[in-house]
Chain A
């Protein structure tokens, strides 16, 4: 069987891949003619060309792949004539090739509306690598860029102009709103305001009538006679299927373009097929890659003694536009809408419910599209909605039940990965067959390998399937350690191991990675409280711990000296000011009642700390998963309502637990009365003065999921309060998963606060003494780690940017100015 394919774009390549994977009595002989100079590349990610990808990076497969698979590939050689009677094609370079089956995979071209002046210099289209090369070369001359077309591709082109360094970029849309085919007016308004923030000017309801300029574009004139000056224009007004050759040889084409095909994707000549963007099926041209891949699958199956039909394709789309998520699925415009709109955060969500309220017809998501996959599947599979359909949009409120039926509730044939058409059943089967990691499932099903949008759902399916099989999902660290953090903590303690290498040799395999190294480093620090940069443990610390400072945009660091309880003398304030002036640091009062000095070069850190330490400061551990601040209100020393001296108690507590390393950072606060000015109930442990003593609260959190702390014990004297904190913190350190704050840990703890209270207050496990003793030994071993570095010339050497030019600063570090101080230069 001789197959000739016209066009070597994305769908052509996919067809080859598919037909090769089927079984044949005799392998088909495949010949491809491609008009472009290079083999098929990833047009979907074309814009990444401007983000530094090369044409080679974008190739779907190198030329060698075709020859290895016995496919003859003629590049830069378009087919010019087809002789249907003798079943031969004739190419530009003069090759004649006969076929049994001919496949059109000619894609489409950019549609250029007949506006006078489109041929001027500075006017571009956006379809091929060559188009992008032309734009890239022209852009440095341009000051204002304009894109005609506010659809999917137009907005992508506008982003490309911004990436090319043209800050003044405008989008012209003929319709009254952006992305008129995918989203409604309200969604478009939100999208527009988000794009405005990014520096794009949007003009809707604008009809371009002339492109101005002599031979080079100078501007656009619109039907309303207004004019917009411009020196670069990208036209992205839609696509035009490449059907000219089909027309020429007498095949039926649509009057608005496209080669007419039936459900087998056969044209009016049964020996000739059309797939991808050039095909017109049931009145539709599909301008997306997934339906094209499905068409490739249908023809590959039918040419390999299978039987398959193409019955249309869901045009749901999700894309990330310049950092704004936009998704539209099913029928975005009809049905009974339920709408959620947050103009503050720029979020718009709409779902359309069927008249009987039972199923989802479609919807629109702008600004936040995490729910896209689940909603799409709910709509596609006509999953019955919960009694309050708004729950699928807003989550179940008030009750503890999960909204919607969850991933396992989807039917087996639900398509999870639409690019590669992988069903739920295929993924579950792969998991059941033992492919239990995302990578394995990707490899054996191809799910999630194209656009990646379905990856969160694939992950959900993996865990749900494993749970359904009754498998205990072991909470192991990573490929190097098959233990949970808690198990490893106990093992390291029993075996008395002190370095990462010892731990790896004893309990792990391989060489470690960025997941397990910081975890082990943190366990070692929690157990032994030795200098974290000692014994070769420095390179297993998270980057911030390794350099005892938080890395900032641009690669400089911040310096945060400890200011216990927020109390500081004027003399010490002076020292901070002097140091900041001397090393040119940006200063700011933090949300944690202390002062942060930003913008320090790596090689300056030891000298800065040397000066601070000499004045009585010590490390604030702002870089560590360690105790941060113990905030305090002013308390009874000054405040007319204060019941106890909250500042003194806060200082006592901060000094007790300073430097204590834990699975995550720990924060605390002490308030002098129930007015709670120190916000103690938002801390990992918080203390509030009462008439009789202190109330101790635990498990509070700020951050993205704020949670109030829960009362653990009331009216404690100072000494008991500290003993309970010792027990609470040690118990947390021993049992929490990596990077889990006390709030999350407590939420997951079986028995919750009642259990914790039993352990800490009633000593139900009989370990209270042990916990206190362990804490005391950590407290006794505390040393300021910056002081140790400052005093140690060998360690100081590590704080240099260049190993072969010590002291020399990284010349790529740049600063800007803002309100009389410096700030980090914006990154790309």
Chain B
């Protein structure tokens, strides 16, 4: 079992809080990677996931619609409406669908940072 500590995370500046439409998402370019960043204005919560929808391998999740299911935050892919938990990335509409990667987010003075576990991947 691999243990990850906070120090292994690389916090990368993504954008300003005002760049993200309330209750919506944007796509952030981090090196060669695309990360979808979501802002739940009603709950003042931020989430980040891979932008790629595993279903048909489409770079689309940032354009998806956010919402909740029994309190759990989720995003629905614009293509076929598969929905994914923003907490742990699992697919809520189809248990056989692959999960998506989620990333931690922190906001400091109106700046949004995304925590990447593997800084090498974005070099």
A residues lining the B interface (CB < 8 Å):
45, 48, 51-53, 57, 479-480, 501, 504, 510-514, 517-518, 536, 538-540, 542-544, 546-547, 551, 554-555, 798, 801-805, 808, 810, 812-813, 827-828
Q: How large is the interface on B (under 10, 10 to 19, 20 to 34, 35 or more residues)?
A: 35 or more
A511 to B43 alpha-carbon distance, docked (Å) = 8
Specify which chain B residues have a CB less than 8 angstroms from the CB of A802 in the assembled complex. Answer: 27-29, 34
Residue contact A45 to B96, C-beta cutoff 8 Å? yes
Residue contact A551 to B67, C-beta cutoff 8 Å? no
A544 to B64 alpha-carbon distance, docked (Å) = 10
Indicate if B107 sits at the interface (CB-CB under 8 A). no
Specify which chain B residues have a CB less than 8 angstroms from the CB of A554 in the assembled complex. Answer: 58
Residue contact B21 to A514, C-beta cutoff 8 Å? no
Residue contact A555 to B73, C-beta cutoff 8 Å? no
Closest 7 CB pairs of A and B: A513-B67, A543-B78, A539-B24, A803-B26, A514-B76, A511-B68, A802-B29
In the complex, residue of chain B having the shortest beta-carbon distance to the beta carbon of A537? B23
Residue contact B21 to A551, C-beta cutoff 8 Å? no
Given known pairs A501-B42, A514-B83, A803-B14, the reply for A536 and B58 (CB within 8 Å) is no
In the complex, residue of chain B having the shortest beta-carbon distance to the beta carbon of A539? B24
Residue contact B19 to A52, C-beta cutoff 8 Å? no
**Would you list which residues of chain B between 79 and 99 have a CB under 8 Å from chain A?**
79, 81, 83, 96, 98-99
From B41, B60, B73, B81, contact of A551 by CB (8 A): B60
Residue contact B98 to A479, C-beta cutoff 8 Å? no
Residue contact B65 to A542, C-beta cutoff 8 Å? yes
Specify which chain B residues have a CB less than 8 angstroms from the CB of A804 in the assembled complex. Answer: 14-15, 19, 28-29
Q: What is the CB-to-nearest-CB distance from B17 to chain A, in angstroms, rounded to a whole number?
A: 11
Specify which chain A residues have a CB less than 8 angstroms from the CB of B71 in the assembled complex. Answer: 510
In the complex, residue of chain B having the shortest beta-carbon distance to the beta carbon of A811? B32
Indicate if B66 sits at the interface (CB-CB under 8 A). yes
Q: What is the CB-to-nearest-CB distance from A43 to chain B, in angstroms, rounded to a whole number?
A: 14
In the complex, residue of chain B having the shortest beta-carbon distance to the beta carbon of A533? B21
Given known pairs A803-B28, A808-B29, the reply for A543 and B43 (CB within 8 Å) is no
Indicate if B57 sits at the interface (CB-CB under 8 A). yes
In the complex, residue of chain B having the shortest beta-carbon distance to the beta carbon of A543? B78
Residue contact A479 to B57, C-beta cutoff 8 Å? no
From B54, B57, B67, contact of A514 by CB (8 A): B67
A827 to B26 alpha-carbon distance, docked (Å) = 23
Residue contact A539 to B21, C-beta cutoff 8 Å? yes
From B22, B27, B69, contact of A539 by CB (8 A): B22
B residues lining the A interface (CB < 8 Å):
14-15, 19-24, 26-29, 34, 37, 40-43, 54, 56-60, 63-71, 73-74, 76, 78-79, 81, 83, 96, 98-99
A501 to B24 alpha-carbon distance, docked (Å) = 13
Q: What is the CB-to-nearest-CB distance from B88 to chain A, in angstroms, rounded to a whole number?
A: 13
Residue contact A540 to B20, C-beta cutoff 8 Å? no
Residue contact A551 to B68, C-beta cutoff 8 Å? no
A810 to B60 alpha-carbon distance, docked (Å) = 10
Q: What is the CB-to-nearest-CB distance from B101 to chain A, in angstroms, rounded to a whole number?
A: 12
From B54, B67, B70, B99, contact of A517 by CB (8 A): B67
Specify which chain B residues have a CB less than 8 angstroms from the CB of A52 in the assembled complex. Answer: 54, 98
Residue contact A479 to B69, C-beta cutoff 8 Å? yes
In the complex, residue of chain A having the shortest beta-carbon distance to the beta carbon of B19? A803
A84 to B56 alpha-carbon distance, docked (Å) = 54
In the complex, residue of chain B having the shortest beta-carbon distance to the beta carbon of A518? B65
11 inter-chain pairs at a CB distance below 8 angstroms, sorted by A residue, are A479-B70, A511-B43, A511-B68, A513-B65, A513-B74, A514-B65, A546-B24, A555-B60, A803-B19, A803-B20, A827-B58
Specify which chain B residues have a CB less than 8 angstroms from the CB of A501 in the assembled complex. Answer: 42
Residue contact B23 to A539, C-beta cutoff 8 Å? yes
Specify which chain B residues have a CB less than 8 angstroms from the CB of A542 in the assembled complex. Answer: 65
Residue contact A543 to B64, C-beta cutoff 8 Å? yes
Residue contact A511 to B40, C-beta cutoff 8 Å? yes
Residue contact B99 to A57, C-beta cutoff 8 Å? yes
A812 to B83 alpha-carbon distance, docked (Å) = 22
Specify which chain B residues have a CB less than 8 angstroms from the CB of A810 in the assembled complex. Answer: 27, 34, 59
19 extra interface residue pairs, beta carbon distance < 8 Å, beyond A504-B42, A542-B65, A551-B79: A45-B96, A53-B98, A511-B42, A511-B73, A513-B68, A513-B74, A514-B65, A514-B83, A518-B65, A536-B21, A539-B22, A539-B66, A540-B65, A546-B24, A551-B60, A802-B27, A803-B27, A804-B29, A810-B59
In the complex, residue of chain B having the shortest beta-carbon distance to the beta carbon of A52? B98
Q: What is the CB-to-nearest-CB distance from B118 to chain A, in angstroms, rounded to a whole number?
A: 17
Specify which chain A residues have a CB less than 8 angstroms from the CB of B19 in the assembled complex. Answer: 803-804
A512 to B40 alpha-carbon distance, docked (Å) = 11
Q: What is the CB-to-nearest-CB distance from B97 to chain A, in angstroms, rounded to a whole number?
A: 9
A504 to B41 alpha-carbon distance, docked (Å) = 13
A810 to B57 alpha-carbon distance, docked (Å) = 13
Residue contact A511 to B59, C-beta cutoff 8 Å? no
Residue contact A828 to B56, C-beta cutoff 8 Å? yes
Specify which chain A residues have a CB less than 8 angstroms from the CB of B70 in the assembled complex. Answer: 479
Q: What is the CB-to-nearest-CB distance from B44 to chain A, in angstroms, rounded to a whole number?
A: 12
Specify which chain B residues have a CB less than 8 angstroms from the CB of A48 in the assembled complex. Answer: 96
Specify which chain B residues have a CB less than 8 angstroms from the CB of A808 in the assembled complex. Answer: 29
A512 to B58 alpha-carbon distance, docked (Å) = 24
Residue contact A513 to B57, C-beta cutoff 8 Å? no
A803 to B19 alpha-carbon distance, docked (Å) = 7
Q: What is the CB-to-nearest-CB distance from B96 to chain A, in angstroms, rounded to a whole number?
A: 6
Q: What is the CB-to-nearest-CB distance from A138 to chain B, in angstroms, rounded to a whole number?
A: 23
Specify which chain A residues have a CB less than 8 angstroms from the CB of B21 in the assembled complex. Answer: 536, 538-539, 798
Given known pairs A514-B65, A514-B83, A828-B56, the reply for A538 and B99 (CB within 8 Å) is no
Q: What is the CB-to-nearest-CB distance from A531 to chain B, in angstroms, rounded to a whole number?
A: 14
A511 to B71 alpha-carbon distance, docked (Å) = 8
Specify which chain A residues have a CB less than 8 angstroms from the CB of B34 in the assembled complex. Answer: 802, 810, 812
Specify which chain A residues have a CB less than 8 angstroms from the CB of B41 in the assembled complex. Answer: 536
Residue contact B27 to A812, C-beta cutoff 8 Å? no
Specify which chain A residues have a CB less than 8 angstroms from the CB of B66 in the assembled complex. Answer: 511, 539
Q: What is the CB-to-nearest-CB distance from A338 to chain B, in angstroms, rounded to a whole number?
A: 34
Residue contact B68 to A510, C-beta cutoff 8 Å? yes
A319 to B105 alpha-carbon distance, docked (Å) = 42
Specify which chain B residues have a CB less than 8 angstroms from the CB of A53 in the assembled complex. Answer: 96, 98
Specify which chain B residues have a CB less than 8 angstroms from the CB of A513 in the assembled complex. Answer: 65, 67-69, 74, 76
A544 to B60 alpha-carbon distance, docked (Å) = 12
Residue contact B24 to A538, C-beta cutoff 8 Å? yes
Specify which chain A residues have a CB less than 8 angstroms from the CB of B26 in the assembled complex. Answer: 803
A539 to B28 alpha-carbon distance, docked (Å) = 17
